[in-house]
Structures are given as C-alpha cells and as structure tokens.
Amino acid sequence: MLSNLKPQAADKILMLIEEFKADTRQGKIDLGVGVYKDPQGVTPVMRAVKAAEQRIWEAQTTKAYTSLAGAAEYRNAMANMVLGEVPGDRLASVASVGGTGAIRQALELARMANPDLTVHVSNPTWPNHLSIMKFMGLPVQQYRYFDSETRGVDFDGMKADIAKAGKGDIVLLHGCCHNPTGANLSMEQWQEVVAILEKTGAVPMIDIAYQGFGDGLDADAAPTRLVASSLPEVLIAASCSKNFGIYRERTGILMALAENTAARDLSQGAMAFLNRQTFSFPPDHGARIVSTILTDAELRADWAAELEDVRNTMLGLRSQLASELRELSGSDRFDFIAHHRGMFSRLGATPEQVEKLKTDSAIYMVGDSRLNIAGLNRDTVPVLARAIIDAGI
C-alpha cells in the first residue's frame, strides 16, 4: 500500500533552511525562515514565558485533559487581547494546534456551513494558505494586493476583486503585518473593505499571526476589531508563536463571531466537533503559559515591555536598511522598507536577483524576494544593502 504513495513537493522555505545550514561560507545571512531572532541570532525565550512556566510547574497538580475547546481561561484571555471588548453573546472559540491549525479548522468550519464556497486570498499570501486550500480541494480565487512598482497595496485592484466575492464565500485577510509583503491597509482602507463585505455578504476570515510586531498590540488589533464590530459573521485565526515566542508549543485559537446566540452555539458545537475529529483535545502547555501571562498584571506588563523591545528593534532595522539603501542608490526607491510592518518585506526582486544574492553574497531569502527583517542586525544591514545594489535590484 505505502509504495503507492506519490512523492510530495518539498516546502521551499524548509529547503532553503537546509541549504543555508550546508553553506560553509563565513558571514552568511539567513533572511528566509519566518522566525524572530535577536541581534545575536537567537530566538529567545521571553522573560515572562520563563516566569509563567515556573509558576505552572510549581502549581500544576495534573496533566489531565481540559476540554475539546481548550481551557476557558486561555480562550477568554486571547479573545480579550485580540478583540478588546468581547461580544460574549456572539463569540465561539476553540484552542488549536498553532495558528496554522486554527486556519485549517476555520476552513473546515466554513465548508461545513457552505459546501459551495470559494476562498478569496491576497496575491501574494503566505504559501501555506494556498497549500492547505489545495489539499482540501477548496476553490480559490486570488485578489490583487501587492503593487510590485510601489511595493505598497494595490487597493483599487483589491477592492474590485473582493467585490466579486459571493454571499457565503470566504475572504481571507491578514489582520496586520502582511506576510509576505509587509504592506498593510490603512484604517480608512479597512473601512472600505468592511463596506464591500457588508454589501456582498462574503464572510471575512482574519489571520492575525503577528499582533504586537507592527505598530503595537492595540494598533495591530484595530483592523480586526473594526471588522468584528461591523459585520455579522467573522472568523479569526490567531497565533501565539511570534508575540509570545513559543513557536514549538503550537499555540493558537480559532474564534467565530456569529450573528446571534443560536448561531454562536451551533458554531461552538461544530468547532468542538472538528477538534475531536482532528486531534481530540488541543495542547494545553502553551495555552496555559499565555493565560498565566495575560491574567497576571506583573507578567503581562513585563511581556508587553519585551514585545515592545522586539517591535522597536525591527523598526530600527527597517529604518537603518532604508537609509543605507537611500545613500547607496541615490534614490528613495527603497523607502517602502521603512513603511512596511512586521517581520517581512518583499523587495520586488526577480528570482534571478535573489539567486545572485545567495550565490555572490551568501544572503538567503525566499525566491519571491521576501526577506525576514528580524534575521538582520546592525552589522549585517550594510552588508545586505551593498549586496542589493550590486545585484541590480
């Protein structure tokens, strides 16, 4: 039986990681993998996470299951962090295996509710979005998003395309820090998106994986909160991997905002059912870390302060890189890097130019020219800037 399996295409980012590891050149720079690294190149365990784990270790008396939906303290704390004021009469939620698990469960839920739906996604989007949808056999329609000339949002194109979404379709939106481009909508543009969705009856599904990495915890959540307060039905997939630095704990949450209490109860039951069919009870350790931090004033303050340091470090690197490139190029054509937010920016380079960066300068980034700003430090920024100019980007 197993010999009948077909070979699967390797993940391009994971292939890039292995290629980077095998490169023996000194001074090589990894800008491919989507993981935060400090200036020493380490993905640290945050202070509040360490403290929370210590408290859990000292106080925990059992490793018994929680519930199919996950611990209520975690779900409530996450809803508060993402949504601010929580509409309890409309909100259903379940803990998930990371943000990716939340995305998968959201798509399964949407298909249960509307087997004929089409999913509308930005062009480009996180590649795993498309991979999951293809594996599930879901019809996908891409909407225009990134303007390769300005390196900003093609908002007119986006509006025209999402206006074609049908009632009950899913429109997947990045809550903040768009991956892979770093180009975000303004709040005024978000209001226009809400108006279009209200008119079409399409359901927004928000993937918010980088809250706190862009303009701050509340500012990054503002678009999601606007959508949630304006439309009758919203799906939200949130991740704790980045802002809590607990990547390997696989901690996420799926939230569904329903039109009324009856629909909320149906959603809650369906989401718990999906968890049961997929992995039964969700993992708890990462969720318990998060709820311990978010419900303790001292731990939350320390976590928020360290997260703010992370955010400001990335903003500083963005400004430094844009400044270096402005000086080397004698133009402002790279200023978009300072305006983008989150870990990523898309340079708009060709695959050949990206390959030249790797071959000539041992600088690794994804083939579409997505670079991870957090893979830099103050010393490597000038190296990257010079290599970008030498590659003719």
Q: Which of 126, 202, 322, 387 is catalytic?
A: 126
Residue 147 pLDDT:
95
Mean pLDDT across the stretch 274-286? 97
Q: Which of 242, 287, 349, 356 is catalytic?
A: 242
Q: Which of 77, 183, 209, 387 is catalytic?
A: 209
**Comparing C-alpha atoms, which of 176, 75, 94, 170 is closest to residue 132?**
170
181 φ, ψ to 5°?
A: -95, -30
207 is an active site residue? yes
Domains in the chain and their CATH numbers? 10-44+312-390 (3.90.1150.10), 65-295 (3.40.640.10)
Confidence check: pLDDT of 95 > 90:
yes
Which pLDDT band holds residue 391 (cuts at 50, 70, 90)?
A: very high
Residue 11 pLDDT:
81
242 is an active site residue? yes
202 is an active site residue? no
Confidence check: pLDDT of 9 > 90:
no
57 is an active site residue? no
**pLDDT per position as a tens digit, 26-71:** 999 999 888 898 888 899 999 999 999 999 999 999 999 999 999 9
Token pair, residue 373, equals: 């700003």
Which has the minimum average pLDDT: 18-22, 97-101, 140-144, 232-236?
Answer: 18-22
Model pTM score: 0.96
Q: Which of 147, 154, 161, 207 is catalytic?
A: 207
